[in-house]
Amino acid sequence: MKRPKIRIGVTGLNAIDNPGPGVPVIRGLLEASSFDAHIIGLAYESLEPGIYMHDLVAKTYQIPYPSSGADQLMDRLAYIHEKERLDVIIPNFDAELFSFIKLAPKLKAMGIHTFLPTLDQFEERLKVNLPEFGKKYGMHVPKSESIYQVSDHKKHMDELGWPVVVKGKYYDAGIAYNSEQLAGYFNKISAKWGLPIILQEFAHGTEFNVTGLGDGYGNTISAVPMRKQYITDKGKAWGGIAITDEKLLKLTRHFIKETKWRGAFELELMKNKKGEFFLLEINPRIPAWVYLAVGVGQNIPEAYVNLAMGKAVQPFESFESGKMFVRYSWDMIVNLSDFEKISTTGEL
């Protein structure tokens, strides 16, 4: 049977040491059995490695940064769509999700499908809202408090205890062992990401991650837990093993059912000595280690595209255990003329 051709725009082609998920997503898409993927890269910077991977990406277009506004992004996407007739776009950066969620209805009207969380889902899982989120959906989260002035931390330290995790509204975090360190992180992070700063109880234990896919009606389409085996100095997994912890899977299904999560996600969890899991963070997108899920039999990018296209997708029931991923870096040789082309025309 001939597989239908689907034209898919993918962002996050920055396969560097702190990698974006674009390249692994594309690998999953190219291995899909239900369709024949034609990949259009969407890049912000001219050195994103995915731009130059011609065996994975048919053509790449530069797109404007989210900070230039949804209108400009829309104009650019309209131009790209005119040339490429995209069926689906998979945005893979945290910072661009807000814009794509807002643009989703317009994209749909043009014939471009997305499969993103709702704005409410996107916002209620923000770090500032995590305590509320935990209460609402009955999930353990570490205690946390938002502060607007350094001195306000004193009110909360009895409850939070030292050390404490100092987090920015969107990105960045540090672990402070005393008030001086806390003030240092507060100033550094707030200068970059603004207020408030979130103080989060430091959770001791082992970190676990789960990636998965919800259909928007509370059903779990996919869920694959992973334990990081090696962590880089940027805090990213360089090796990880797929695990079959039933408690983790149950927790993930609970999360999807309660929030009616729509789209892909990554849960970051901590397991303490008593074996209790605490939810540290929810990333509302596919993680960079998604190819592990593909490798153990749950092709999340493929299912994502089928859901976006409005097809019925059978939930994955199981996955192969005993597999791990080891990341590696790879030096490509690139013709300067390619760099020239993407730099001067914004297309390659």
Task: Give how many residues touch other proteins by CB under 8 A.
Answer: 36
Footprint of other proteins on residues 100-129 (CB under 8 A)?
102
Does residue number 72 form part of the binding site for other proteins (CB under 8 A)? yes
Does residue number 75 form part of the binding site for other proteins (CB under 8 A)? yes
Does residue number 79 form part of the binding site for other proteins (CB under 8 A)? yes
> Exposure string (b/e) for 13-31, b if CB count within 10 Å is 16 or more?
bbbeeebbbbbbbbbbbbe
Q: Which two tokens stand for residue 345?
A: 């025309």
DSSP per position, 300-348: HHHHHHHHHTT---PPP-----S-EEE---------HHHHHHHHHHSB-
Does residue number 30 form part of the binding site for other proteins (CB under 8 A)? no
- Shortest approach of other proteins to residue 72 CB, angstroms? 6
DSSP per position, 147-159: ESSGGGGHHHHHH
Does residue number 345 form part of the binding site for other proteins (CB under 8 A)? yes
Does residue number 70 form part of the binding site for other proteins (CB under 8 A)? yes
One symbol per residue from 170 to 199: x for binding other proteins (CB under 8 A), - otherwise; what is it? x-----------------------xxx---
Q: Which residues contact 320 (CB under 8 A, 6 or more apart)?
A: 242, 296, 297
Does residue number 62 form part of the binding site for other proteins (CB under 8 A)? yes
Q: Which residues contact 84 (CB under 8 A, 6 or more apart)?
A: 7, 9, 40, 59
| Binding span for other proteins by CB under 8 A among 74-82, 84-92, 226-234, 266-274 | 74-82
Q: Which two tokens stand for residue 247?
A: 């408690």
DSSP per position, 74-87: HHHHHHHHHHH--S
Does residue number 45 form part of the binding site for other proteins (CB under 8 A)? yes
Does residue number 69 form part of the binding site for other proteins (CB under 8 A)? yes
**Smaller CB distance to other proteins: residue 120 or 317?**
120
Does residue number 64 form part of the binding site for other proteins (CB under 8 A)? yes
Residues that bind other proteins (CB under 8 A): 44-47, 62, 64-72, 75-76, 79, 95, 98-99, 102, 148, 170, 194-196, 336, 339-347
